C-alpha cells in the first residue's frame, strides 16, 4: 500500500473514531502533498511524500524550539503532538552504525579519498538514505570520515 493510500485510509479511520487531533494533522499532510503535486505538476511517489513529511517535522521542531524560547509551552505541546502524528508515516531512522556502513559502501563505489570528494559522495548517499537519516548528521559523518 502506498503512503498516500495509507494516509487516506487513516484519515477515514480518524473521522469514524472521532480522533480530531490525528484527523487535523493528516489533513495538513494531505494538503502539503497536494500542494507539492500541483506546484510541480507531478504525482508524488513514496520517496517524495517522505521528503514532504521530513520537511513538516523539521518545521515543527523549529517551532517547538522557538516556542520554548518564548516560554510558550502550551504551543510547544501542540507542535510536539503534531510531530508524533507525522512521524507515524516516516520510516524508522537509521542508527549511526548503519549510516557509517552506508558511507563506507559509497566510498568503495565512488573511490572518494579526501574532503574534495565530499560532493561526489553525498549524491549517492542522499539518494540511498533519503527519509532514513538526517542528512545533516550524514554530512557531518562524511566530513569526519574523509578528513581522517
The pLDDT assigned to 123 comes to: 85
Distance, CA of 77 to CA of 105 (rounded, Å): 40
For residue 32, count CB atoms less than 10 angstroms from its CB and return exposed for 0-12, middle for 13-18, buried for 19 or more.
middle
The pLDDT assigned to 26 comes to: 97
**CA 31, 36, 39, 43 torsion-angle sign:** negative
Distance, CA of 59 to CA of 72 (rounded, Å): 17
Longest dimension (CA), the chain: 56
pLDDT by residue for the chain (148 residues), tens only, comes to: 899 999 999 999 999 999 999 999 999 999 999 999 999 999 999 888 988 998 999 999 999 999 999 999 999 999 999 999 999 998 888 888 898 898 888 888 888 888 888 888 888 888 888 778 888 888 889 888 888 7
**CA 83, 85, 89, 93 torsion-angle sign:** positive
The pLDDT assigned to 138 comes to: 87
Q: Could you tell me if 103 and 137 are in contact, meaning their C-beta atoms sit under 8 angstroms apart?
A: no
Amino acid at each position: 500500500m502506498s503512503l498516500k493510500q495509507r494516509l487516506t485510509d487513516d484519515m477515514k479511520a480518524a473521522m469514524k473514531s472521532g480522533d480530531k487531533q490525528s484527523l487535523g494533522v493528516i489533513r495538513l499532510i494531505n494538503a502539503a502533498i497536494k500542494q507539492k503535486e500541483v506546484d510541480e505538476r507531478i504525482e508524488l511517489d513514496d520517496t517524495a511524500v517522505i521528503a514532504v513529511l521530513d520537511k513538516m517535522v523539521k518545521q515543527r521542531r523549529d517551532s517547538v524550539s522557538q516556542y520554548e524560547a518564548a516560554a510558550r509551552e502550551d504551543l510547544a505541546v501542540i507542535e510536539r503532538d503534531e510531530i508524533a502524528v507525522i512521524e507515524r508515516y516516516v520510516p524508522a531512522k537509521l542508527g549511526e552504525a548503519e549510516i557509517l556502513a552506508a558511507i563506507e559502501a559509497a566510498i568503495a563505489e565512488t573511490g572518494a579519498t579526501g574532503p574534495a570528494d565530499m560532493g561526489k559522495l553525498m549524491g549517492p548517499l542522499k539518494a540511498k538514505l533519503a527519509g532514513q537519516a538526517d542528512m545533516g548528521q550524514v554530512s557531518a559523518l562524511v566530513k569526519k570520515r574523509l578528513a581522517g
